[in-house]
Amino acid sequence: MIRKFLAALTLSLVTPLAAAQEPVRMCVFDVIGANGDVFNMVKDYALEMKSHGVDFELRPYTDEGVAVGDFSSGQCDAVAATDLRIRPFNRFTGSVSAVGAIPTYDDLRTLLATLAQPKAAPLMKQDGYEVLGIVPAGAGYLFVNDRSIDTAGELAGKRMATLDYQKDAIHMVNYVKATVVPSDITNFAGKFNNGSVDTAYAPAFAYEALELYKGIGDTGGIVDYPLAQLTIQIIARDEVLDDATAQQAREVAWGMYGQAMDLVSRLESAIPEDKWINIPANDVQGYQEMFRENRLQLRDGVNGAEQVYHPKMMSLLSKIRCASNPAASECTAGNRE
């Protein structure tokens, strides 16, 4: 009798512990797969999270749509994907890549440091999901097959590979009177490389990894102005981690900022200097105002735009930009974000 009682007591003590240590399945998108830089970075994140009692079981995906779909259907407890894809789960952090909203990496650093603080925790939750970390993936640039495409006016009539789920990009392409060519992460590079489109939008890693140098050829280049800052975000169902552990997870991701930016810097530096197309300084202000008009439309859902951007994120990014560049015209505009 005593033996049975002790056995039952032991089982009752051990079972919760075993449940707590059950692996958290994470779908991880990396266009290269398990050998890619993103997957390796998430591996480092998972290793660090072991010290906080979380065991992530990573599953690589080369198709972002499939990774997010498997997460949505419950085949994974968490997913690591671009902010563009996690927007349906968290509109606030999904607005980090708002067009033209973060012009410098210094501004990005300020933003991510702010979002990693405990006081930002309530904004990391939405509709039963929680963001567990954000790491930079590099600025998105416009790749063109003709170096003369260096102004918004030159984009009119050009064919642009546009992710069919990226509503803000579609709005922007229509705004500059270019032609939307619906694409996804698996085929936009091929369309640019075979000449089916004139332009494509991607971070620096795509130059080599997706062979966009083929689409650039001898006549094209990369417009040296960040259209947006892309990030990899880790999101999970709210019940997967308790609040304290979720906050630790976000701080672990923030601690990887330097590692991520070293990688971004190496990838951008590896692109031959003559492939970059410089924008004249006196044209930059016009670009910034054009992007701001689009952000306001996408925040408010006016002029044919859907409400894509979160107002609180737009306000935060405006404050960050004006802190680093108080002389900018937007900082005294009557319709500030």
The values of phi and psi at residue 106, to 5°, are -65, -40
Q: Which residue(s) pair with 142 in the sheet?
A: 201, 223
Asked if residues 224 and 143 have their Cβ atoms less than 8 Å apart, the reply is no
Question: How confident is the model over 117-141, as pLDDT tens digits?
Answer: 999 999 999 999 999 999 999 999 9
Burial class (CB in 10 A: 0-12, 13-18, 19+), 20: exposed
Question: Per residue in 54-69, pLDDT tens?
Answer: 999 999 999 999 999 9
How much is the pLDDT for 7?
Answer: 45
pLDDT of residue 214 exceeding 70: yes
> What is the distance between the alpha carbons of residues 234 and 239, in angstroms, rounded to a whole number?
14
Model pTM score: 0.90
pLDDT tens for 104-117 read 999 999 999 999 99
Are 78 and 71 contacting, i.e. CB atoms less than 8 angstroms apart? Answer: yes
Which of 263, 279, 324 minimizes the C-alpha distance to 152?
A: 279
Helix/strand/coil for 199:
strand
**Whole-angstrom distance, CA of residue 287 vs CA of residue 289:** 5
Give the confidence band of 152 by pLDDT, cuts at 50, 70, 90: confident
Residues 94/61, Cβ–Cβ less than 8 Å = no
Which pLDDT does position 12 carry in this prediction? 43
pLDDT tens, position by position, 263-299: 999 999 999 999 999 988 778 888 888 999 999 999 9
Mean pLDDT of the region 64-87: 96
What average pLDDT does the structure give for the chain?
A: 91
